[in-house]
Amino acid sequence: MNSKGENMDINDFEYANPNAAALMQSLRAFGYDISTAIADLIDNSITAKAKNIEITFDWNNGEPWISIIDDGYGMDEEELFEAMKTGGKNPLDKREADDLGRFGLGLKTASFSQCKRLTVASKRVDEGVYIRCWDLDVVNEQNAWILLKKASDTAKEVIDNYFKDNKNGTIVFWEKIDRIIPGSRINDEEYQDAFLDYASMVKNHIAVVFSAYMYGYNKISFKLNGREIDMWDPFMSELSTKMPQEILYVNGSEVKIRPYILPHQSKLSPEEFAFYAGIHGWNAQQGFYIYRNNRLIVSGDWLVPGMEKLEQYRLARIRIDIGNETDTEWNIDVRKSTAVPPISIIKEIKRIAIASQKESSKIYRHRGKKLARKGQKEQFFVWHQNIRHGKIGYSVNREHPIIKKLLDSTLKKEIKELLDLIEETVPVPMIISDYSEKSDSMLEPYEGKNKNDFDDMILNMYEMYIGWGYTKKQAIENIANTEPFIYAPEKIGLFCEKEGIDIE
Ligand SMILES: Nc1ncnc2c1ncn2[C@@H]1O[C@H](COP(=O)(O)OP(=O)(O)OP(=O)(O)O)[C@@H](O)[C@H]1O
Ligand SMILES: [Mg+2]
């Protein structure tokens, strides 16, 4: 039968089964790193209702192995066989609401991305222990889907040790970890250190991705090499300002969104500030965090095309919670590390992003403005009104620090001429006419312009004032009262933070 229900003629088609060796190799290239790969295995353990998940990195004298052991409900022999097959499950099937899987691939693709031998041993309550193993070298040599029923001696020891007390659960065991440790590295200290660094990276990743499972009534214990992994809460929930939660809908399913505005550095101890900077630093950690069934998929991304990460937005972190029933709409990938908001809600996402960015900027603007208020009364504007022969004109303020500096340079003659030229030709009648007709659509100073150039300008002026013998605080107060910085108090706030200048 073909897709239209008609009988198919044997002459009209041929079977095109994949080549085992080639396909298995391709499965290695899904783009995981060691952290995302292990997180994908933990997804399976959580779906299997595990309460304890233990990860072990064992250097094993240069023949390293990694295991993930869970006390979830395990698999019987048939389930284990299906689990080891690639494409054992159809991604279109409906899943239990708390299932973290989707594609029927993760166990294999995540494992093969890092290792060439994957052994899984599993046991359900009242059932025996079953073992299956893919060894890519065997598949390659035989070019056939040969699934072994035996574990290596090393794996067997770990498996026997765990199941000796008749516990249920699953062990995933990786050997021939060629992606991070190529070849056999007996006693190679550098590789051993690197291996342990990877372990620590994985620990940090788990602390973020599964933090929502690490507390509360149903909490799960996560251990790495015997030590409990502590959660890392990107939202500093206890200390941050929570904006109201909003609920959007995608195909009738709820999308919960809650922005958090984190406290400014001055309100945190140096330890807290360093801790909450996260793995990638304060700047990189701003933006949306998407949780699918409480499991973090995307961390710190504004999600809206063209929306940049800016320093003044770095106190804004926004939690989005989605379920697994809208995986297609969100374009969830096999690695569970990307999600794209559906077009139907992108406008709302943008609105919430802008509102949160404003709240974060406000904190920096407030700090900058405070300085401007504290400073001397004199403000340096670029334009002045002047009267010549009883008539009104407009001139550029020669005392403005930026102009003054230029007028001290070797180009002072040309600059004077240029200023004269500009002053004498200001199109006053055109401005008056535009202003009276369309005052609402006149640009504000620097509206819509990227103010990143201000950073260098502020630094230059700051150095200039310091060179003239001003104190750090006086220098900053002067700058805060000078056009154009009056329009970007957040830049002044950020500059003080960087230079360690106390505003209070
Ligand atoms: N630790 C485990 N405990 C119990 N069952 C497991 C475990 N790991 C895997 N399985 C079973 O094996 C199946 C295949 O796992 P795999 O990770 O390859 O795909 P998935 O979780 O269904 O989807 P995804 O590709 O999105 O991860 C799972 O659906 C589950 O039935
Ligand atoms: Mg999975």
Domain spans of the chain, in order of start: 20-228, 241-374, 383-436+451-499
How far apart are the CA of 107 and the centre of ligand 1, in A?
6
| 262 contacts 239 by C-beta, under 8 angstroms | yes
Instruction: Using the predicted structure, report yes or no on whether residue 366 has a pLDDT greater than 90.
Output: no
- The token duo for 273 is 């500030």
Most confident of the ranges 42-56, 325-339, 425-439? 42-56
Instruction: Using the predicted structure, report yes or no on whether residue 73 has a pLDDT greater than 60.
Output: yes
d(CA 66, CA 181): 12
Query: Which of 38, 42, 44 has most ligand 1 atoms within 8 Å of CB, for mutation?
Result: 44
How far apart are the CA of 197 and the centre of ligand 2, in A?
25
How far apart are the CA of 75 and the centre of ligand 1, in A?
10
Q: How confident is the model at residue 3 (pLDDT cuts 50, 70, 90)?
A: low
For 178, counting Cβ atoms within 10 Å of its Cβ (0-12 exposed, 13-18 middle, 19+ buried), the class is middle
Q: Give the CB-side neighbour count of residue 86, counting CA atoms within 13 A.
A: 18
Bridge-based pairing of strands 295-301 and 287-292 is antiparallel
475-486: pLDDT as tens digits? 888 888 888 888
- The residue written with tokens 């969830």 in the block is 332
In this structure, which long-range contacts are made by residues 497-504, counting pairs with CB atoms below 8 Å and at least 24 apart in sequence? 497/265, 497/266, 499/462, 499/472, 501/472, 501/473, 501/476, 502/473, 503/266, 503/367, 503/370, 503/371, 504/266
How far apart are the CA of 71 and the centre of ligand 2, in A?
16
d(CA 271, CA 11): 72
Q: Which ligand places an atom closest to the C-alpha of 93? A: 1
| CA-closest residue to ligand 1 atom 1 | 45
Q: Which of 16-20, 113-117, 127-131 has the lowest mean pLDDT?
A: 16-20
Residue predicted with more confidence, 341 or 17:
341
pLDDT of residue 375: 57
Average pLDDT of the residues in 9-17: 85
For 437, counting Cβ atoms within 10 Å of its Cβ (0-12 exposed, 13-18 middle, 19+ buried), the class is exposed
Average pLDDT of the residues in 253-270: 92
How far apart are the CA of 168 and the centre of ligand 1, in A?
16
| 136 contacts 112 by C-beta, under 8 angstroms | yes
| CA-closest residue to ligand 1 atom 6 | 44
Please give the helix or strand (H or E) that residue 488 lies within, else none: none
418-433: pLDDT as tens digits? 999 999 998 988 888 8
| CA-closest residue to ligand 1 atom 7 | 44
How far apart are the CA of 300 and the centre of ligand 1, in A?
27
Between helices 34-47 and 189-209, what is the axis angle to 10°? 50
Neighbours of 188 (CB within 10 A): 15
Mean pLDDT across the chain, nearest whole number? 90
Q: Which ligand places an atom closest to the C-alpha of 73? A: 1
- The residue written with tokens 């299997």 in the block is 48
Spatial CA neighbour of 178 closest among 108, 224, 112: 112
Query: Which residues contact ligand 1 via a Cβ below 6 A?
Result: 40, 43-45, 48, 70, 72, 74-75, 83, 88-89, 101-108, 170, 334
Neighbours of 322 (CB within 10 A): 24
154-202: pLDDT as tens digits? 999 999 999 998 899 999 999 999 988 887 777 788 899 999 999 999 9
- The residue written with tokens 């312009």 in the block is 449
Range 20-228 classified under CATH 3.30.930.10: no
Beta bridge pairs of residue 257: 246, 320
pLDDT of residue 214: 95
Residues 6+ apart with CB under 8 A from 235: 260, 262, 289, 317, 319
Residue 86 CA: which ligand 1 atom is closest?
Answer: 18
pLDDT of residue 43: 96
Instruction: Using the predicted structure, report yes or no on whether residue 47 has a pLDDT greater than 80.
Output: yes
How far apart are the CA of 117 and the centre of ligand 1, in A?
17
| CA-closest residue to ligand 1 atom 30 | 83
Percent of the chain with pLDDT over 70: 97
Question: Are 20-228 and 241-374 the same fold in CATH?
Answer: no
How far apart are the CA of 83 and the centre of ligand 2, in A?
9
Q: How confident is the model at residue 374 (pLDDT cuts 50, 70, 90)?
A: low
* CATH for 241-374, options being 3.10.20, 3.30.230, 3.30.2310, 1.10.10: 3.30.230
| 207 contacts 39 by C-beta, under 8 angstroms | no
Instruction: Using the predicted structure, report yes or no on whether residue 122 has a pLDDT greater than 60.
Output: yes
Neighbours of ion ligand 2 (CB under 5 A): 43-44, 101, 106
pLDDT of residue 304: 94
Q: How confident is the model at residue 90 (pLDDT cuts 50, 70, 90)?
A: confident
For 8, counting Cβ atoms within 10 Å of its Cβ (0-12 exposed, 13-18 middle, 19+ buried), the class is exposed
Average pLDDT of the residues in 2-22: 81
E runs forming strands in 354-492: 383-388, 391-396
Residue 70 CA: which ligand 1 atom is closest?
Answer: 1
439-496: pLDDT as tens digits? 788 888 888 777 778 888 899 889 988 888 888 888 888 888 888 888 888 888 888 8
Q: How confident is the model at residue 18 (pLDDT cuts 50, 70, 90)?
A: confident
Q: Which ligand places an atom closest to the C-alpha of 120? A: 1
pLDDT of residue 377: 61
Q: Which ligand places an atom closest to the C-alpha of 87? A: 1
How far apart are the CA of 120 and the centre of ligand 2, in A?
13
Please give the helix or strand (H or E) that residue 297 lies within, else none: strand 295-301
Angle at 128 between CA 127 and CA 132, to 5 degrees: 125
| CA-closest residue to ligand 1 atom 13 | 83
3-state secondary structure 69-97: EECCCCCCHHHHHHHHCCCCCCCCCCCCC
How far apart are the CA of 59 and the centre of ligand 1, in A?
27
Residue 102 CA: which ligand 1 atom is closest?
Answer: 26
Helix, strand, coil content of the chain in percent (nearest 5): 40, 20, 40
| CA-closest residue to ligand 1 atom 21 | 101
Residue 169 CA: which ligand 1 atom is closest?
Answer: 3
Q: How confident is the model at residue 64 (pLDDT cuts 50, 70, 90)?
A: very high
pLDDT of residue 100: 86
| CA-closest residue to ligand 1 atom 12 | 83
| CA-closest residue to ligand 1 atom 22 | 104
